[in-house]
């Protein structure tokens, strides 16, 4: 099944907007802040189109991906904009192009390195831009900014917001390989993912990054794809998969808290995607959705598979809903653009966040 991970990011969007805009504007600089984006398909604006691996390339380059906003497939695994696009628009920044897109880039706006199917660990879907490779691209961006002057580069990097959505693919792969792993083994795996993630965060700090905004891992067991993979689930979620996300999220907040107390100037914020999304799956109408369990596009139980897949003699093997705005999920794994910011201000609960 396709790219994994998760999100529901309306709240993160608002949060990051607040981070970008509310901080007092320094008088010497009229420039907006940069946004650096690390992550998986939930944040990928089309980087995978430029990968060498053809299997990874084709994902989301077919209709109906892109139908709502861009009117053509862009490589985003969504009907419209993904979260970093919306955050950029909120913050009056241009939408960041994929980092791998050929041509010149204005890195003073930031860069988006996210890659569908990517994970924290290099073993997770090799061929994607896994987190360490994203970090090496960020280092190259820093070098490029330094050509405009060290001080300038330092200011851009210190003031920037670093957005993350990562981990879902590591756990989805782990779950598919070891559906019945023991508590001990699950704990070991989560600790390994977190240790790798922590070392990347420390390097970003050493390179000048200060403000980190995380979307935590969503309820993996509740994606429509899970119901297609295991039809016995019916409308229920696969709790074994979600339990990995819960464990990861618990460690993630501990680690970020530790980093904040040890590293001068380090600040973070977590959008609790797990609970925000879990609640929408079960109570879609509370949030203005008609359908929280089945996807808009796909085949099989709950349309969990094969969105945008092959056509045989003119007949598609999947169905597409006519109003993605009524659905929480666009395909078996990814939310619709409508899982968007409209109600975000109501949902934003400051107690769940640490304002940057
Ligand atoms: C694709 O392959 C070329 C040639 O091996 C290599 O230079 C390039 O870095 C690769 N691109 C990516 C995104 O891995
Ligand atoms: C995992 O455990 C469940 C019951 O808890 C069982 O039905 C299933 O067959 C097991 N799967 C594997 C691959 O062992
Ligand atoms: C990162 O993950 C690899 C497996 O991909 C593991 O061997 C290594 O020990 C981890 N690194 C850290 C710092 O934990
Ligand atoms: C597609 O159409 C051709 C010609 O009508 C036919 O020979 C072929 O069997 C069809 N393929 C499938 C998979 O239905
Ligand atoms: C479900 C939902 O809230 N959809 C909204 C998403 O945002 C657009 C505006 O960008 C609204 O028109 C939708 O109603």
Pick the catalytic residue from 269, 331, 338, 353: 331
Catalytic entry in 5, 41, 165, 269: 41
**Catalytic residue flag (residue 334):** yes
Nearest CA, atom 3, ligand 4: 313
CA distance 122 to 192: 12
The two tokens of residue 100 are 């791998």
32 as an active site residue: the answer is no
pLDDT value for 59? 75
Q: What is the value of pTM for the model shown?
A: 0.86
Cα gap 303→2, rounded to integer Å: 13
Residue ranges of the chain with pLDDT lower than 70? 1-31, 340-356
Domains of the chain as residue ranges with CATH = 34-283+334-352 (3.40.50.1110)
Give the number of the atom of ligand 2 that is nearest the alpha carbon of residue 180.
1
What is the 169 CA–ligand 3 centroid distance (Å)? 16
Task: Calculate the alpha carbon distances from 147 to 17, 107, 155, 158, 275 in Å.
Answer: 29, 11, 13, 17, 43
pLDDT at 31: 62
pLDDT of residue 314: 74
pLDDT value of position 1: 29
Task: Take residue 38 and report the two structure tokens written for it.
Answer: 């690390």
- Those residues with Cβ within 8 angstroms of residue 13's Cβ, 6 or more apart along the chain or in another chain: 83, 86, 87, 90, 340, 341, 344
Q: Which helix (H) or strand (E) holds 344?
A: helix 344-347
Distance 313 CA to ligand 4 centre (A): 6
Cβ-in-10-Å burial (0-12, 13-18, 19+) of 234 comes to exposed
- Give the pLDDT of residue 219: 95
Q: Determine the Cα–Cα distance for residues 188 and 191; give it in Å rounded to an integer.
A: 5
Give the model confidence (pLDDT) of 78-101 as tens digits. Answer: 999 998 888 888 777 899 999 999
């Amino acid at each position: 099944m396709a790219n994994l991970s998760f999100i529901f990011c309306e709240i993160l969007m608002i949060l990051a907007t607040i981070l970008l805009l509310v901080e007092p504007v320094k008088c010497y600089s009229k420039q907006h802040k940069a946004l650096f984006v690390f992550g998986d398909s939930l944040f990928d604006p089309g980087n995978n189109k430029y990968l060498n691996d053809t299997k990874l390339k084709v994902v989301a380059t077919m209709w109906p991906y892109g139908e709502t906003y861009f009117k053509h497939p862009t490589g985003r695994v969504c009907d419209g904009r993904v979260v970093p696009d919306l955050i950029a628009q909120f913050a009056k920044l241009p939408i960041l192009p994929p980092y791998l897109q050929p041509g010149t880039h204005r890195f003073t706006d930031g860069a988006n390195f996210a890659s569908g199917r990517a994970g924290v660990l290099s073993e997770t879907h090799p061929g994607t831009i896994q987190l360490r490779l994203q970090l090496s691209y960020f280092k190259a961006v820093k070098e490029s900014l330094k050509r405009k002057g060290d001080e300038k580069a330092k200011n851009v990097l210190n003031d920037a917001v670093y957005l993350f959505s990562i981990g879902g693919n590591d756990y989805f792969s782990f779950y598919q390989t070891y559906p019945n792993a023991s508590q001990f083994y699950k704990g070991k795996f989560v600790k390994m993912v977190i240790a790798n993630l922590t070392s990347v965060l420390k390097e970003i700090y050493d390179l000048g990054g200060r403000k980190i905004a995380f979307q935590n891992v969503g309820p993996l067991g509740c994606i429509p794809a899970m119901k297609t993979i295991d039809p016995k689930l019916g409308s229920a979620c696969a709790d074994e998969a979600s339990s990995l996300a819960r464990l990861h999220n618990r460690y993630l907040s501990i680690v970020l808290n530790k980093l904040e107390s040890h590293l001068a100037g380090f600040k973070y914020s977590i959008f609790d995607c797990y609970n925000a999304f879990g609640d929408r799956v079960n109570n879609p109408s509370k949030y203005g959705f008609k359908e929280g369990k089945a996807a808009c596009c796909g085949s099989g139980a709950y349309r969990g598979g094969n969105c945008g897949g092959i056509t045989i003699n003119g007949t598609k093997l999947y169905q597409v809903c006519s109003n993605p705005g009524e659905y929480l999920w666009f395909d078996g794994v990814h939310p619709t653009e409508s899982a968007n910011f409209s109600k975000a201000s109501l949902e934003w609960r400051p107690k769940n966040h640490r304002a940057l």
